[in-house]
């Protein structure tokens, strides 16, 4: 029997399941604990225990990396492995005083997000001056911390990437392929089973055509695209309804991006607890995810697990899940006409065809099992122990 390992998770955000970035480490930590390993964390709140939780305070406070370095220098000797977000520990192991395995994890490669931030799609100014101020503060912090991301990849033992596009980039552009590994995200067996239990019969779902989106409301996830998407769907299916879950913004803020004539067809739930999601999705017919950049895309995976065919932009992350499913589920980023058309086609499927596709979605989701991914990840980490 192999010796249990002591693992430290480092992340510059709160250790909460409702945050997509921290959820990855939190849930894989749960799997490692089931395997008998010890897992601790050093997160945003450990680094800044008395800090204000406001976004403004977060953007203007000192660097998380310095606090994380101090913690590792004082506590690193207790751990065999450190699993840190990219940019959180941009130091050599000698600088950290750490002799174990240092793994850097991407939940969305920073270089890809930086490219999107500079793209024409992201250049439209927000409606409100407060958002414009926050965007400016984000840009200032980005300039300050940009070197951290590249150096953290260079100084670590191995790089953990959530999709093959990032793996190809790290190999070809950064020339760090010898220590790069691809591990997708997943769902626990309990979570997969909860979604499977929530699946409604095809006839029920098709009788009330409903399109669901899960995610924070913003340009990156397609907020500016929804007006045209809804118009394209409702021009063909006037009874279609739209459910936006976890927007993080108020109903009024979301509706500002949608033509008033469609407001009565839109349901908005700014926040929900993760455990509530299966029931919120049970009666949904089709999913939509017009996100321009993702590390993986829990919002796609969880809809698939609930047997919901989901149309998404063909970008890194979602294509890992949708590549072997119906061709209508992937659309070139920004092609709103095709996106709407494919939603309409799926909403108008006959019951037998819908049931078949729904079953294929569930089967695909079950391939992304956190238990197996956790074992495979730890096997890769073990290769570097003692080097």
- Could you tell me the strand order of the sheet in which 38-42 lies? 38-42, 6-10, 81-85, 101-105, 158-161, 180-182
How many whole angstroms separate alpha carbon 97 and alpha carbon 76?
7
- Specify the pLDDT at position 139: 58
Same domain, 233 and 162: no
Please tell me whether residues 239 and 181 are part of one structural domain. no
Task: Tell me which residue range forms the domain holding 354.
Answer: 189-365
Note whether 236 and 319 are same-domain residues: yes
Point out the residues of the chain with pLDDT beneath 50.
Answer: 136
What is the CA angle 64-152-55, rounded to 5?
30
Residues forming a β-bridge with 82: 8, 102
- The model's pTM: 0.91
The pLDDT value given to residue 132: 57
Task: Examine the domain organization and report whether 333 and 217 are in the same domain.
Answer: yes
Backbone CA torsion sign across 300, 306, 307, 308? negative
Quick: pLDDT tens for 232-244: 999 999 999 999 9
Domain count, the chain: 2
Looking at the fold, whether 111 and 206 belong to one and the same domain comes out as: no
Q: Say if residue 165 is in the same domain as residue 196.
A: no
Do both 345 and 375 map to the same domain?
no
Instruction: Write b or e for each residue in 26-55: b if 16 or more Cβ atoms lie within 10 A of its Cβ, otherwise e.
Output: bbbbebbeeeebebebbbbebbbeeeeeee
**Are 103 and 203 within 8 A, CB to CB?**
no
User: Does 89 fall in a domain?
Assistant: yes
Are residue 248 and residue 316 in the same domain, yes or no? yes
Q: What is the CATH number of the domain that holds 66?
A: 3.40.50.2000
Report the pLDDT value the prediction gives residue 142, as an integer from 0 to 100: 65
- The pLDDT, as a whole number, for residue 58 is 60
Which pLDDT belongs to residue 346?
98
Backbone conformation region of residue 323, classed left if phi is above 0, alpha if psi is from -120 to 50, else beta: alpha
């Amino acid at each position: 029997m192999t010796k249990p390992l002591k693992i430290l998770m480092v992340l510059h955000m709160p250790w909460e399941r409702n945050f997509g970035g921290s959820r990855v480490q939190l849930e894989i930590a749960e799997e490692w604990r089931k395997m008998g390993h010890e897992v601790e964390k050093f997160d945003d709140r450990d680094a800044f225990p008395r800090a204000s939780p406001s976004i403004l305070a977060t953007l203007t406070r000192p660097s998380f990396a310095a606090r994380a370095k101090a913690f590792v220098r004082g506590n690193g000797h207790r751990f065999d492995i450190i699993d840190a977000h990219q940019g959180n520990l941009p130091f050599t192991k000698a600088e950290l005083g750490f002799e174990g395995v240092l793994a850097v994890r991407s939940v969305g490669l920073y270089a890809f997000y930086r490219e999107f931030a500079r793209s024409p799609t992201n250049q439209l100014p927000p409606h409100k001056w407060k958002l414009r101020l926050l965007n400016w503060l984000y840009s200032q912090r980005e300039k300050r911390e940009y070197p951290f991301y590249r150096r953290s990849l260079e100084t670590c033992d191995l790089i953990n990437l959530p999709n093959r596009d990032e793996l190809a980039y790290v190999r070809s552009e950064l020339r760090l392929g010898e220590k790069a590994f691809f591990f997708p995200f997943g769902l626990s067996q309990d979570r997969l089973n909860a979604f499977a239990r929530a699946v409604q019969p095809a006839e029920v779902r098709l009788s009330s055509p409903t399109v669901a989106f899960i995610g924070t409301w913003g340009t990156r996830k397609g907020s500016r695209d929804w007006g045209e998407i809804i118009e394209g769907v409702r021009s063909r299916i006037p009874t279609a309804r739209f459910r936006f879950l976890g927007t993080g913004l108020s109903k009024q803020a979301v509706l500002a991006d949608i033509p008033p004539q469609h407001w009565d067809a839109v349901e908005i739930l700014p926040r929900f607890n993760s455990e509530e999601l299966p029931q919120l999705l049970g009666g949904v017919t089709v999913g939509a995810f017009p996100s321009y950049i993702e590390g993986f895309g829990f919002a796609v995976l969880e809809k698939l697990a609930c047997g919901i065919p989901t149309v998404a932009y063909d970008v890194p992350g979602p294509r890992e899940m949708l590549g072997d499913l119906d061709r209508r589920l992937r659309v070139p980023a920004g092609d709103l006409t095709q996106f709407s058309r494919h939603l309409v086609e799926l909403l108008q499927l006959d019951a037998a065809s819908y049931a078949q596709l729904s079953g294929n979605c569930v089967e695909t989701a079950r391939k992304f099992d956190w238990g197996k991914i956790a074992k495979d990840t730890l096997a890769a980490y073990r290769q570097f122990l003692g080097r």
